[in-house]
Amino acid sequence: MTGWQWFWTLVGFLLLVLALTFLYFFPPFETLVNIVLTGFTFQNSIFWVTVIIGIGGFCAFHWSAYKTYIGGQGSVESMVLTSLRGSTFTAVLLSAGAALQAVQNACVYLLQTSYPFDGGFGKKVGTIIALVVITGVFCIIFWLLKLIRPVKA
């Protein structure tokens, strides 16, 4: 990505965060979402957004890899490697979204009127640590896959 593409990606991400923040404090939206999506609450909203983006990106990445390497170049090995990179990036996205959701849940737990440092808080911290480690492992795998180059025939 060039500098401008990164800039507009960050602007889009910030606009998404602002829109989600607005919707979080807009009670009719919460009621509408709870009617349409049973079981969806704002306690797990970050993970739901991550799952939707992950599924969409996963499908788009695989379609692009198929179109480029099978349709254009006829290289199955390159398509498989590119699809594996896309799958690993989706795993990074999902585990990072779950870690962010766990951080939000820990913050909500701490903002209660009486927040004891008990086993419940310890479970939340343990979950955060485990998800950050899993995200790091997926990042390392993604980095290693980026180093692998397909063999030219």
pLDDT, tens only, 54-105? 888 888 888 888 888 777 777 778 788 888 888 899 999 999 999 999 998 8
Domain co-membership, 30 together with 82: no
The pLDDT of residue 137 is 95
Q: What does the pLDDT read at residue 148?
A: 81
Residues 13, 75: one domain?
no
- Which of 137, 47, 46, 147 has the alpha carbon at shortest distance from 92? 137
- How high is the pLDDT of residue 129? 94
Q: Tell whether 78 and 126 lie within a shared domain.
A: yes
Do residues 132 and 61 share a domain? yes
Tokens representing residue 29 in the block: 């939206």
Q: Mean of the per-residue pLDDT values for the chain?
A: 82
Alpha helix positions (H), 111-151: 119-147
Average pLDDT over residues 125-139: 93
The answer to whether residue 130 scores a pLDDT higher than 90 is yes
Residue-level pLDDT at 37: 66
Rounded to an integer, what distance in angstroms lies between the CA atom of residue 47 and that of residue 94?
Answer: 8
Shared domain check, 93 and 67: yes
Number of domains observed in the structure of the chain: 2
First to last CA, the chain: 28
Amino acid present at 109: Y
Residue entry with tokens 């996205």? 93
The pTM of the full predicted model, rounded to 2 decimals, is 0.66
- Taking the CB of residue 138, how many other CB atoms lie within 10 A of it? 19
CB 97 within 8 A of CB 89: no
Quick one: 80 and 22 in the same domain? no
Q: Give residue 38's pLDDT band: very low, low, confident or very high (50, 70, 90).
A: low
Please tell me the predicted confidence (pLDDT) of residue 40: 62
Residue 152: inside a domain: no
Residue 1 is predicted with a pLDDT of: 62
pLDDT above 60 (res 153): no
Domain-embedded: residue 153: no
Please list, residue by residue across 23-39, b when 16 or more beta carbons sit within 10 angstroms of its beta carbon and e when fewer do. Answer: eeeeeeebeebeeeeee
Q: Is the domain of 30 the same as that of 52?
A: no
Range of the domain at 13: 1-40
113 and 71: one domain?
yes
Rg (CA), the chain: 19
Are 101 and 124 contacting, i.e. CB atoms less than 8 angstroms apart?
no
117 and 89 share a domain? yes
